[in-house]
């Protein structure tokens, strides 16, 4: 809720605006002074007891993406301000900034795109802009191994052998003793300093689970924010409806992830990705490794205390595993596109005890060895000894910090585990209804959803899914 002051009232008179002191009910009007309070839609009321209106629902989601930039780099602030105004004025447009720093405009179609570009040039930014070609989104995923090939011939063990050779060819430049691929797709990879080893397997998620995670991305994002607050010990004011939405998501996941290979999978979820709220899952399948549950905010609600897992030395490098997972789900091995519908199961994770001594963050005063205590007695200052040990630990490994090596190892292990499964590249589809003749239907590339004859001879009314790259 936010408070605002209505500055002006306007009556819409065609292309003109007539400013009035008051406007009777039943008229379409304009209100001035709301630009700092309303983004796209809102409910205005003088009473807090007023129920909000239902937000606008658009049948066609924006799919046409273009990157825009000013022709003169010095006018970038004007472009940013203009895109902010366009985002407020148009309820269907989406404005975002990609990881590369590009300012992207997402519109519902070519006509809508042209209208938004004209508004940017003439009304909001009032500058000359350069527009890229439409950005076609793709997603990378894995599927279950097929039982027959394209000519319906049965596939045997030669498929697994071919997959292993393919992964080994893609991993040239990495010594064979640091990486191993099992016939069933389990990838074992060791860090360059040979102090840490991870075993990862890629599993395709059921389509229903992928759709559920996509639709509940905001709930997952809220879940991550709540868990972050719990880890940092910050006070939280949790809404009951938010907890109910998270609990409903958890129950729905448990109902969809059934079977022996998904046993207790929901409780073992390590993280979501990419960006910690995407349609991919990282599973903790490591024996005897307990960590706080991703659903710990629900447990905190019942216990009023943060639920802590038993302490484990591996917890010092827990974020390294998550970071490697986030990197690989954001940029896949096929064409550097985000992953979708993939579950990475970490089945083994070993870290040598020497690695903990090389981690400067784990060196505390109570971890000083007896030999170091003798140095303390001779020098008279334990803090100097600890600082010297930290400096030595950071310079021992020529490959860099263990945490950084573990991030890279986890990323590479996930990439190779992905490539050890049947890979697929998913293209965006545009669902539409068109009227066409039989000749056009025979030449077009789309998938029929339904069609029927019209009264006019030779015409069909077709509901179809068209590849996005073929649109326009």
Q: What is the CATH number of the domain that holds 351?
A: 3.30.230.10
**Whether residue 264 sits in one domain with residue 205:** yes
Write out pLDDT tens, residues 305-323: 444 555 667 888 889 999 9
**Whether residue 324 sits in one domain with residue 208:** yes
In CATH, what number is assigned to the domain containing residue 84? 3.30.70.870
Write out pLDDT tens, residues 377-435: 444 444 454 445 444 444 456 778 888 999 999 999 999 999 999 899 998 777 777 77
Task: List, as one string, the DSSP characters of 451-465.
Answer: EEE-SSTTEEEEEEE
Q: Which residue has the tokens 């990486």?
A: 179
**Whether residue 297 sits in one domain with residue 260:** yes
Residue 157 counted as domain residue = no
Across the chain, mean pLDDT equals 79
Range of the domain at 118: 64-137
What b/e sequence results for 35-70 when a residue is b if at least 16 CB atoms lie within 10 Å of its CB, and e otherwise? eeeeeeeeeeeeeeeeeeeeeeeeeeebbbbbbbbb
Residue 310 counted as domain residue = yes
**Whether residue 310 sits in one domain with residue 209:** yes
Residue 421 counted as domain residue = yes
Confidence of residue 62 (pLDDT cuts 50, 70, 90): confident
Residue 214 has pLDDT above 90, yes or no: yes
pTM, two decimal places: 0.73
How confident is the model at residue 443, as a pLDDT? 63
What b/e sequence results for 361-376 when a residue is b if at least 16 CB atoms lie within 10 Å of its CB, and e otherwise? eebeeeebeeeeeebb
Stretch 339-365: mean pLDDT, rounded? 74
Among residues 204, 205, 199, 213, the alpha carbon closest in space to that of 285 is found at 199
Q: Work out how many domains the chain is built from and give that number.
A: 4
Among residues 332, 427, 339, the alpha carbon closest in space to that of 136 is found at 427
**Whether residue 344 sits in one domain with residue 205:** yes
What is the helix (H) or strand (E) element at residue 97, kind and residue range? Answer: strand 94-97
Residue 372 counted as domain residue = no
Write out pLDDT tens, residues 138-168: 899 999 887 655 555 555 555 555 555 655 5
Residue 165 counted as domain residue = no
Confidence of residue 59 (pLDDT cuts 50, 70, 90): low
Residue 375 counted as domain residue = no
Residue 370 counted as domain residue = no
**Domain boundary residue among 10, 40, 57?**
57
**Whether residue 304 sits in one domain with residue 272:** yes
**Whether residue 237 sits in one domain with residue 90:** no
**Whether residue 416 sits in one domain with residue 302:** yes
Residue 271 three-state SS: strand
**Whether residue 208 sits in one domain with residue 109:** no
What is the helix (H) or strand (E) element at residue 427, kind and residue range? Answer: strand 423-427
**Whether residue 219 sits in one domain with residue 313:** yes
Is the bond leading into 274 cis (omega within 30 degrees of zero)? yes
Q: What percent of the chain has pLDDT over 90?
A: 34
- Phi/psi at 426 (5° precision): -95, 130
Residue 250 has pLDDT above 60, yes or no: yes
**Whether residue 25 sits in one domain with residue 108:** no
How confident is the model at residue 117, as a pLDDT? 94
Contacts of 126 (CB under 8 A, 6+ apart): 78, 82
Taking the alpha carbons of 107, 108, 109, 114 in that order, is the dihedral positive or negative? negative
How confident is the model at residue 251, as a pLDDT? 94
Could you tell me the strand order of the sheet in which 447-453 lies?
429-437, 459-467, 447-453
- Phi/psi at 235 (5° precision): -70, 145
Residue 50 three-state SS: coil
The top-scoring range by mean pLDDT among 222-231, 273-282, 368-377, 385-394 is 273-282
How confident is the model at residue 153, as a pLDDT? 53
Residue 224 has pLDDT above 70, yes or no: yes
Q: How far apart are CA 393 and CA 361, in angstroms?
A: 10
**Whether residue 242 sits in one domain with residue 305:** yes
Residue 389 counted as domain residue = no
Start-to-end CA distance of the chain, whole Å, equals 42
**Domain boundary residue among 15, 33, 57?**
57
- Phi/psi at 462 (5° precision): -120, 135
Q: How far apart are CA 468 and CA 472, in angstroms?
A: 9
Could you tell me the CA-to-CA distances from 238 to 46, 250, 272, 298 in Å, in that order? 27, 17, 21, 10
Write out pLDDT tens, residues 76-121: 999 999 999 999 888 889 999 987 889 999 988 888 899 999 999 9
């Amino acid at each position: 809720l936010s408070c605002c002051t209505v500055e002006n009232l306007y009556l819409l008179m065609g292309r003109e605006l007539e400013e009035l002191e008051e406007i009777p009910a039943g008229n379409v009007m304009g209100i001035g002074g709301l630009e700092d309070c309303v983004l796209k839609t809102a409910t205005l009321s003088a009473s807090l007891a007023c129920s909000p209106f239902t937000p606008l629902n658009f049948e066609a989601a924006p799919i046409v993406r273009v990157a825009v930039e000013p022709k003169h780099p010095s006018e970038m602030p004007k472009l940013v301000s203009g895109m902010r105004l366009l985002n407020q004025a148009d309820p269907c447009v989406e404005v975002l900034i990609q990881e590369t720093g590009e300012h992207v405009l997402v519109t519902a179609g070519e006509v809508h795109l042209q209208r938004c570009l004209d508004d940017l040039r003439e009304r909001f930014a009032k500058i000359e802009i350069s527009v890229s070609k439409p950005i076609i989104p793709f997603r990378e995923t894995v599927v279950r191994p097929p039982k027959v090939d394209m000519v319906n011939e049965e596939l045997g063990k030669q498929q697994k052998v071919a997959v292993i050779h393919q992964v080994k060819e893609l991993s040239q430049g990495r010594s064979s003793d640091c990486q191993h691929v099992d016939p069933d797709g389990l990838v074992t990879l060791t860090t360059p300093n040979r102090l840490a080893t991870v075993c990862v397997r890629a599993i395709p998620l059921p389509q229903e689970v992928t759709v559920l995670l996509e639709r509940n991305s905001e709930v997952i994002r809220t879940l991550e924010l709540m868990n972050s607050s719990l880890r940092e010990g910050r006070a939280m004011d949790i809404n009951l409806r938010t907890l109910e939405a998270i609990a409903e998501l958890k129950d729905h996941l448990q109902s969809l992830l059934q079977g022996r290979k998904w046993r207790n999978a929901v409780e073992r979820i390590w993280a979501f990705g990419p960006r910690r709220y995407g349609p991919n899952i990282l599973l903790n399948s490591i024996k005897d490794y307990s960590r706080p549950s991703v659903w710990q905010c629900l447990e905190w609600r019942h216990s009023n205390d943060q639920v802590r897992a038993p302490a484990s030395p591996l917890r010092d490098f827990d974020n390294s595993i998550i970071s490697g997972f986030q990197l690989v789900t954001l940029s896949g091995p096929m064409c550097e596109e985000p992953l979708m519908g993939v579950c990475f199961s970490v089945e083994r994770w070993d870290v040598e005890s020497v690695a903990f001594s090389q981690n400067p963050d784990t060196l505390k005063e109570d971890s000083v060895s007896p030999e170091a205590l003798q140095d303390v007695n001779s020098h008279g200052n334990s803090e100097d000894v600890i600082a010297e040990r930290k400096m030595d630990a950071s310079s021992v490994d020529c490959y860099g910090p263990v945490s950084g090596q573990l991030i890279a190892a986890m990323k590479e292990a996930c990439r190779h585990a992905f490539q050890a499964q049947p890979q697929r590249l998913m293209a965006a589809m545009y669902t539409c209804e068109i009227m066409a003749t039989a000749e056009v239907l025979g030449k077009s590339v789309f998938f029929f959803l339904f069609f029927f004859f019209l009264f006019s001879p030779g015409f069909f009314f077709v509901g179809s899914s068209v590849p996005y790259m073929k649109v326009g």
